[in-house]
Structure formats: C-alpha cells, structure tokens
Structure 1
C-alpha cells in the first residue's frame, strides 16, 4: 500500500470518528451555554443564589429534549458572541436580538420572543421623552454590546445628537439601573420587560417611554454554519411553541 493511499485512509478514518458538533455534545452529555445573568426576568440570580429566568428554563428544557444537561457559563454580555465564535461555549441564550452585523459571525435559532425597548428613569424625573430622540438631551446608560447600545451609538452619537461623553456603557444592566437610581445618569435604555423588572427589583424607577426602536426577534446564538445544531434547536422550539410551553413561561415571568 502506498504512503499516499495510507494517508488518505487515515484522514478518512479521523474525519469519520470526529462526528458533528451536535454528536460531540450528545456524547459528552453536556451543552455549554453562555449567558449574562443580570437581565431579569430573562436571566438573573435569585435571592437564594440560583440562576433563574425565562431563558434559563427555556434552555434547560431544550437541553432535556436533546438528552443532555446544561453547563452554564456566566459571561459579560459583550463577550458572549466571541465565546460562541471561539468555541468556548456551544451556544448562548441571553435575550439576544437578531442583527445583520451579528449574523455575519454567528447563526441564530428561530425566534422565541418579540420585544420592545424602553427608557427607564428615576421616579423623580421631570424631563420629557415624547420620542426616542428626546433622550439625546440627557445622560444615558446602556448595557455594552446590546442592540440598544448600537441604536444610541449609530442614531444619536454618530449623528451628533448625543455627545459621546453623555453615553455611559455598562457591563451589567443592573449596574446601569443602580447608577440611574443614584442620579449618576438620567435615563437607561433596555428591553422593556427587563427594564420593568429592574424598576420593580431596585425601586424608585419608572418606565418613561416604550416602543419598538432597536428590539425585534429574540433568538438563541449558535456557531456560524452549525446547521445540525440549529436544526435540532429549531425543531424543539417549534415543539415547545405548539405545546404551549413558551406561552406558559411568558405568563410565569412576564405577567
């Protein structure tokens, strides 16, 4: 047998043994999922120190139906996409909105939630926010790497409406909410449901304005080109939707 033929057989053997990413996940019995557990009611740490929330329960059920368990990896929100790209995690669920920019480097599951944006202010706030652009008159806080961050940067800062020094970016949404309560910023932009949850959790805050501005479909982040994992997750999401599981989760966490 020639060395060339032997090398070809060895390569074929190695390729066949490696299997797909989904095969590896199932063989290991674990899917590593990244999240940023600071965004109630999607993902957060409760008073007992447990990781809970809409996204957490949804992903746990998806994993159960895949026949595996979840190994949670808590990371800053703006590190999650890179974590999926670099293979540090198998997927990420953290109230991710689809964007064309993100879609260039990762893939997305089918949507499981549609959201709105909100501007959160202190209860003592006396300013006027009648349209999204009105926040350009204030000091605005936002979580780094979110679609809200992108909207504020592209639509207000880049257009010269909001001074760069008046846009404050935070690794964690709850840090921004605390600074808002303590008067270090005037307005915080976030998804509506987490904004309302933070207002209730921290106290002294209220929603001043809500609308679809930067938000849209919410999806699970999957490695670019991983068609098999995407198909498996999408099929389970369809099942969960048809069975009423996702609606029940919404009633549990969003009402």
Structure 2
C-alpha cells in the first residue's frame, strides 16, 4: 500500500502527479516561534531544530485512540518515527475534537497536526501540509443484521445518518445529499467523535455513518456494525503545519522519506492495519 515520493517534490506538485486515485502512500512552545510573512498573511514559524507539540483527535481508530488512558495509533507511531528522523524533537501531544485542530495550530497551541486529516483545497488555504502519508476512501457503516442496506448515497433519503464534525464524511453528506435535496437537514446528526456516532448507530438512533474506510473496518471488527458500501474519494492524509512554517514542513517530508526507506513505515502500517 506504500507510494514513494521524492522529499524534494513540492506538495502541490505531488498531489497533481499522484492524482485522486493513488493508493495508500505515503510539535513547539510559544517561546520558539517568530513572525514571518507567508502567502501575504502574517504567519509563524517554529525555530529550526526546536521542540514540536503535536495535536490529534482521539476516537478515530486505528489512527488515534485512547487505550488504558494512553494515546495510541498509527498517526501517533508514525509522527514520532518521522520526527525522530529530523533535527526536531517531539515535546508531547495535545488532544482536541477534530474541528479544533486547525484553530489550535493557528493559535500556536500545537505545531503539527497528526489526525488523519485529508488534504483538500479548503484546508490548504488555511494551513500547509506535508507530503501525503496515507490514502483512503469513505465507507458507509450500518447496523449488523439491520434492515437498512444501502448500496448508494441516494438510498439515504428518509433515514437518519451521521458523521463527525469537520470531516470528509460530513462534507459528503452536506454536499452530495443535503445541498442536492436528497436528504433533509433534520436527518443529519453531527458528532464530536465517531465513537459517539457508532454508539448511536448500534443503539438504533441513526441508520448509517459516513466514515473513512480504514476506520470503518476497525469499528466493523469491534462492534455490531458492518460496511454497506464504499464511496470512492481518493483522499489523502497529510501532517498539518502552520502556513509558512517551511522548515517543519521540509523536516516532516524528509522524515517521511527516511521512515519509508528504512522499512519503518511498513512496520508501523502492518502493526495497525491487518490487511496491509
């Protein structure tokens, strides 16, 4: 599932070259930042070789979750491995709801987002991204053995559905269903965490969830839910950094390449994804 890329390739050029259908591929303190000019706006950059604070949003297994009170997951292991290959050090992790990650980055509470965040044009206007490190589509989760068995998005009409706030799943529901009159807005339920959404699904409060495929597969293996179908999006995840923080961006790209070349990426991937 790996896709190798040159660390020197510009991130936007990389996305153009790889295209939407590529397969899964590819933190600082307030005292360590200074003001720079980036894209015409005032931005901040982390001191080269300094400490980085990472931010994530638990409740998105196997990428980030809490087990026994400990923060674990693919993104956690991968970012720690990537930073260890750079001149930066990781000072720790901060936890937020997914929708709070970009504001936390902008306000310098964190320096890197590692939260299975899809690279898209809307986010790219507000933050910068590393090269992609994983690709995924969206899956539709339903209750195992339930009466609702959709095979396409159009089948959602009249059914209560859910997604996590600020995610691609929510965007699909709003853009492809609600805005096109295929689903009433009152039938959409948004959640701070997919764990809560799955609870509502199992308890019969909603009939379906739109969620990233690898996360859907994890919930399917652990709860009484099943994947009805997959909606192809070709989305790719990247680590988020503040606009203009090019030194951190370059360090993450260099670290990603080193982790891939050493085989560590495959080791981490195989630890968290049983079908890899």
TM-score of the pair, normalised by structure 1: 0.86
2:81 to 53, 61, 70: 61
1:140 to 161, 177, 183: 161
C-alpha separation in 1, matches of 2:34 and 2:189? 46
Structure 1 residues 66-88: Cα deviation after superposition (integer angstroms, max 9, x where no partner): 34124100000001011112222
Match of 2:197 in 1: 176
CA contact (8 A) 2:105 2:242 kept: yes
Describe the SS at the equivalent of 1:69: strand
5+ long unaligned stretches in structure 1: 1-16
If you compute each CA radius of gyration, which structure gives the higher value, 1 or 2?
Answer: 1
Match of 1:108 in 2: 129
1:243 to 222, 246, 262: 262
CA contact (8 A) 1:117 1:190 kept: yes
Listed as ranges, the matches of 1:8-27 within 5 Å are: 21-23=45-47, 26-27=49-50
Match of 1:206 in 2: 226
C-alpha separation in 1, matches of 2:211 and 2:58? 15
Match of 2:209 in 1: 188
CA contact (8 A) 1:60 1:70 kept: no
Match of 2:248 in 1: 229
Describe the SS at the equivalent of 1:176: helix
Deviation at 1:137, TM superposition (A): 3.8
Match of 1:42 in 2: 63
Describe the SS at the equivalent of 2:204: coil
C-alpha separation in 2, matches of 1:65 and 1:222? 17
Describe the SS at the equivalent of 1:152: helix
Match of 1:94 in 2: 115
Structure 1 residues 157-195: Cα deviation after superposition (integer angstroms, max 9, x where no partner): 111111001110000110000000000000011001111
C-alpha separation in 1, matches of 2:197 and 2:267? 30
Describe the SS at the equivalent of 1:83: helix
Deviation at 1:225, TM superposition (A): 1.7
Deviation at 1:211, TM superposition (A): 3.3
Alignment root-mean-square deviation, CA: 1.8
Listed as ranges, the matches of 1:145-160 within 5 Å are: 145-160=166-181
C-alpha separation in 2, matches of 1:141 and 1:99? 21
2:93 to 60, 68, 72: 72
Runs of 4+ in structure 1 deviating by more than 6 angstroms, as ranges, are none
How many aligned residue pairs are there? Answer: 233
Deviation at 1:34, TM superposition (A): 0.8
Deviation at 1:18, TM superposition (A): 5.7
